[in-house]
Structure 1
Amino acid sequence: MEQKKRRLQVPHVYVLLLGIVLVFCILSYIIPAGQYDRVEVDGREVVDAASFTFVDQTPVDLMGFLTSVPRGLVESAQIIFFIFIVGGSIYVLQETGAIDAALGRLAKRFSGTELLLIPVIMFVFSLGGSVIGLAEETLPFIPIMVSLAIAMGFDSMTGTAIVLCGAGAGFAGAFMNPFTVGVAQGIAGLPIYSGLGLRVALYIVMVTVTILWIMRYARKVKKSPQLSSMYAVDQQREEKLELENLRPFGKREVFILLVFAATIVLLVWGVLAQGWYMNEIAALFLAMGIIVALIGGMGFNGYANALGVGMANVASGALVVGFARAILVVMTDSNTLDTILYWAANLLSALPGAITALGMYVFQCLLNFLVPSGSGQAAVSIPIMAPLADLVGVTRQTACLAFQLGDGISNIFTPTSGYFMAGLALARIPWAKWAKWFLPLLFIQYAVGAVFVIFAQLTNYGPF
């Protein structure tokens, strides 16, 4: 009798996240509860590093475990509905055929030199991630780059990586990101954007390594498409570009693309000049969808149907954001997050000064899996790490660098990162497939970060 070999299946992301939530519920009975006081500094709520006290335990029971997911969904509602509206509006844009027509001609023009597009486009996204902290703002480009990558003989993983890894490498190696570098230095009392030279070098190395790694993968997939884990899925995508049977590119398509370009210009202006965030960006794309549908002759019912299909396509990935938020819900309810921070600070203070900076870096890397928000993580950890750095002979500038790298590198790996999971939802790439693909690059970037943190420690990176 033949015995069928059972392959080890990677758990569905919902199962994985529920398992993590359950683990933290169990740990709430074991880890002592504790709290730091929060104080307001320059309009920001930060942790008072000297205020930690243990409090009565508030373990999370079965009902708390079960309600953490709906509560997480409610708390993440802004992100989730942002994904729905942007995903649906981008699908409306794709249904007009203007994007396909334009990308098809671009792919034909670069036929034979497709790889040259990768570093150019990734550099643009990396600059946005480094200078203005582009993250959620890059999401509308993901479906477009997926279509372009497939048309040029690559795969959806390459198209998604051009956006996520480009912006992500710039974000991790940022030299002027106001949401990480600016906030962290402000809390630490450092001159804003001081220490620029080393961060520029970090940006160049991080982005270059990332681009070369993705180009190597893209070349391999183009040579042997079956090597892609997304090969079967990409073959069935309805939005594929057929280069031999391109849609006409006339005045209507030009007007639609002009509306899309105006949307992007307004997006950049709104984020930089008006402080727009998810609600305003979602409203902008909702308006874009209506306008391009009318120009494209879809009519109101055609628009509504396309919007619904687009929302349905991203629903599974969008809801992951709420499941991930449930982890933070449990840690907050049980008052264990501050205890973990307190223990980590005590552990780092016991390390020799020569390796404390590396210990800070490791701690920030781990903390980012729990608190993926850059400014949020700065508000939680820098008030503890800055005075700790003074005690153990590490400069505050080095502590801020460790935070920046630890916060940025895993943002496009951890399932608790809302915008990242939104990006995978828009690309329709399962998290397990992305994680397996991205893991080698993740370790390379971690290694680059470690080298720079050690160098900062050895050179007394300052001004203080």
Structure 2
Amino acid sequence: MQKGEVKVPQNNQDQSARRKRGINVFVLLFGVLLVATILTHVVPAGEYARVEVDGRSVVDPQSFQQREASPVTFFQLFSAIHTGLVDAGEIIFFVLIIGGTFGVLTATGAVDAFIRSLSRKLGNKEKWLIPIMMLFFAFAGAFTGMAEETLAYIPILVPLAVSLGFDVITGTAIVLVGASIGFTTAIMNPFTVGIAQGIAQLPIFSGIGYRIGLFVIMYLVSVGFIYRYAMKVKKNRSLGFYGEGAATIETTDTAKAQPLSRTHKLVLICFLLNFVALIYGVLEFKWYITEISALFVILAIVITLISRMSPDQLIESFMKGAAGMLTGALIIGLSRATLVVLGEGHIIDTLLYHASGLLDEIPPVLSAAGMYILQFLIHFVVPSGSGQAALTMPIMAPLADLVGVTRQTAVLSFSLADGIGNIIFPTSGYFMAGLALAGIPWIRWAKWILPLILTQFGIGLVAVILANLMHYGPF
């Protein structure tokens, strides 16, 4: 076994694999699709009139009328899957292009060299390891939507944390919680806020100032929680956790790590400049998915030239990165299939009508809180951020109009609920894979992190309520 790896015995691997598998998200989504089909036979059909307001389509709340029923047939249930994939094509190919570019970036070794170099420099400054490394992963989650990609760094951070007097949970939390901070606040996450705002017809990445403020708060709270725990473990090692069963952690050999070369630095600089260009294009030229996709394709080519990769290596790396996003892309399509079924049965507006009727009885502030809680519960069933956006935002956006909640607040409710659930729900595949890699039982992790989850959830609830009180927008 190479140094820096986490070795889990075969029987523990089997147990971890069973825990990691959990409930298959495609089975869950097909179950949702089946329920939606049944609802078209039970729920009366109806529709609202749509009107144009400032260039966007909104529901006229006084126009609901029942219409002739059109229940979805057994065959239409399955044809809706293809229709959903086609309808979500713009988003699906956006996800694949972004994933492909990240694949090229990963192939250069720049990110890996940067992490190892930073870890080596912090090796004798253990107090700075937690805030600095968590800030890196938080930025990665906030700007690139890095999630599954973070798993490669658990075998680096865990042994480093243990060698500095901390424990396995500390090293794992630096990676998983760090990335979750970014995913939760989603400053410019193309896979969550980008998709959700597009569906809600909001300017892409609008409302960024409020999300930056939330990022700072979530970061400070999370770092403080992990730092206090790590210091307790350092003072009393019996309080720590060092692997499940016979799991063994070896000390990482940072001396043999690939150094951060001039080429790596140039690649990382281009990567940062890409986001500067993205922000400028979005703000100045109102760029959307098509333009952002083009920008990332250009980035992939520039990175290839700098790192002197061959055309074959470029295509291979791009395809590998895109393949890693294929599951998420298919989840988006299957989520859209549910909306196709509800739309063909003409019951979406009926559901909106009754939901708005219930929410009309309570203040809009509580309606916003209700959306947030509902999105948190939905995330347990649909752990994919982009898939949840595709499934819920076509309903949540018009519902927000009906109950007096801003669409930007509806998007915020989704992104906050999505990020927090990523590090507690056992249906989150990459999260459970990370625990399995580190040899941490889910129960042990859940008991440890629950206070932080409750704190983050409370911060999110207050943030959503304040957002709607201040008419967080532009609309």
Return the alpha-carbon distance in structure 2 between the equivalents of residues 268 and 160 of structure 1.
26
Tell me which of 257, 260, 263 is aligned to 1:249.
260
Q: Secondary structure at the match of 2:256?
A: coil
Match of 2:76 in 1: 64
Tell me which of 266, 282, 305 is aligned to 2:316.
305
Q: Cα distance, 1:321 vs. partner? A: 1.4
Does structure 2 retain, via aligned residues, the 8 Å contact 1:314–1:428?
A: no
Does structure 2 retain, via aligned residues, the 8 Å contact 1:108–1:243?
A: yes
Q: Cα distance, 1:376 vs. partner? A: 5.6
Match of 1:421 in 2: none
Q: Cα distance, 1:161 vs. partner? A: 4.2
Q: Cα distance, 1:253 vs. partner? A: 2.7
Q: Cα distance, 1:91 vs. partner? A: 1.8
Change over 3 Å in CA distance of 1:87–1:169 after alignment to 2: closer
Return the alpha-carbon distance in structure 2 between the equivalents of residues 456 and 314 of structure 1.
32
The superposition leaves residues 256-278 of structure 1 with CA deviations (integer Å, 9 ceiling, x where unpaired) of: 23322322222222222222222
> Residue 361 in 1 paired to residue 372 in 2?
no
Tell me which of 172, 181, 188 is aligned to 1:165.
181
Q: Secondary structure at the match of 1:45?
A: strand
Q: How does the TM-score come out when normalised to structure 2?
A: 0.67
> Residue 314 in 1 paired to residue 320 in 2?
no
Tell me which of 283, 300, 304 is aligned to 1:272.
283
> Residue 20 in 1 paired to residue 37 in 2?
no
Q: Cα distance, 1:40 vs. partner? A: 0.8
Tell me which of 403, 416, 424 is aligned to 1:409.
416
The superposition leaves residues 63-120 of structure 1 with CA deviations (integer Å, 9 ceiling, x where unpaired) of: 2211222111112222222222222222222222232222211111222232122564
Match of 1:152 in 2: 157
Q: Secondary structure at the match of 1:49?
A: coil
Does structure 2 retain, via aligned residues, the 8 Å contact 1:101–1:247?
A: yes
Match of 2:389 in 1: 372
Does structure 1 retain, via aligned residues, the 8 Å contact 2:138–2:181?
A: no
> Residue 99 in 1 paired to residue 111 in 2?
yes
Match of 1:114 in 2: 129
Q: Secondary structure at the match of 1:46?
A: strand
The superposition leaves residues 412-460 of structure 1 with CA deviations (integer Å, 9 ceiling, x where unpaired) of: 4789xxxxxxxx89x6977999x99899566654444556778999xx9
Return the alpha-carbon distance in structure 2 between the equivalents of residues 453 and 298 of structure 1.
46
Return the alpha-carbon distance in structure 1 between the equivalents of residues 353 and 403 of structure 2.
11
Does structure 1 retain, via aligned residues, the 8 Å contact 2:117–2:259?
A: no
Q: Secondary structure at the match of 1:249?
A: coil
Change over 3 Å in CA distance of 1:86–1:454 after alignment to 2: closer
Tell me which of 401, 406, 420 is aligned to 1:383.
401
Return the alpha-carbon distance in structure 2 between the equivalents of residues 217 and 57 of structure 1.
58
Does structure 1 retain, via aligned residues, the 8 Å contact 2:154–2:172?
A: yes
Q: Secondary structure at the match of 1:39?
A: strand
Return the alpha-carbon distance in structure 1 between the equivalents of residues 259 and 85 of structure 2.
43
Return the alpha-carbon distance in structure 1 between the equivalents of residues 230 and 73 of structure 2.
48
Match of 2:65 in 1: 53
Q: Cα distance, 1:246 vs. partner? A: 1.9
Does structure 2 retain, via aligned residues, the 8 Å contact 1:91–1:310?
A: yes
Return the alpha-carbon distance in structure 2 between the equivalents of residues 291 and 320 of structure 1.
31
Farther-moved stretch of structure 1 (341-350 vs 147-156) = 147-156
Match of 2:12 in 1: none
Does structure 1 retain, via aligned residues, the 8 Å contact 2:157–2:172?
A: no
Tell me which of 320, 323, 326 is aligned to 2:337.
326
Q: Secondary structure at the match of 1:312?
A: helix
Match of 2:43 in 1: 31
Match of 2:425 in 1: none
Change over 3 Å in CA distance of 1:263–1:45 after alignment to 2: same
Q: Cα distance, 1:210 vs. partner? A: 4.9
Identity %, equivalent residues: 27
Q: Cα distance, 1:18 vs. partner? A: 0.5
Q: Cα distance, 1:335 vs. partner? A: 1.7
Match of 1:258 in 2: 269
Change over 3 Å in CA distance of 1:245–1:200 after alignment to 2: closer
Q: Which one-letter code corresponds to 2:417 in the other structure?
A: S
- Count of residues in Structure 1 that have an aligned counterpart in Structure 2: 400
Q: Cα distance, 1:13 vs. partner? A: 0.9
Return the alpha-carbon distance in structure 1 between the equivalents of residues 195 and 103 of structure 2.
30
Farther-moved stretch of structure 1 (34-43 vs 367-376) = 367-376
Change over 3 Å in CA distance of 1:46–1:456 after alignment to 2: closer
Does structure 1 retain, via aligned residues, the 8 Å contact 2:181–2:218?
A: no
> Residue 138 in 1 paired to residue 144 in 2?
yes
Please tell me the root mean square deviation across aligned C-alpha atoms, in Å: 4.8
Structure 1: stretches of 5+ with no match in the other structure: 127-133, 187-191, 236-240, 387-395, 416-423
The superposition leaves residues 227-267 of structure 1 with CA deviations (integer Å, 9 ceiling, x where unpaired) of: 69xx99x99xxxxx973422243333333233223222222
Return the alpha-carbon distance in structure 1 between the equivalents of residues 104 and 62 of structure 2.
53
Q: Secondary structure at the match of 2:57?
A: strand
Does structure 1 retain, via aligned residues, the 8 Å contact 2:100–2:320?
A: yes
Q: Which one-letter code corresponds to 1:317 in the other structure?
A: G
Return the alpha-carbon distance in structure 2 between the equivalents of residues 343 and 260 of structure 1.
47
Return the alpha-carbon distance in structure 1 between the equivalents of residues 83 and 56 of structure 2.
25
Return the alpha-carbon distance in structure 1 between the equivalents of residues 230 and 289 of structure 2.
32
Change over 3 Å in CA distance of 1:119–1:103 after alignment to 2: closer
Return the alpha-carbon distance in structure 2 between the equivalents of residues 47 and 432 of structure 1.
44
> Residue 289 in 1 paired to residue 295 in 2?
no
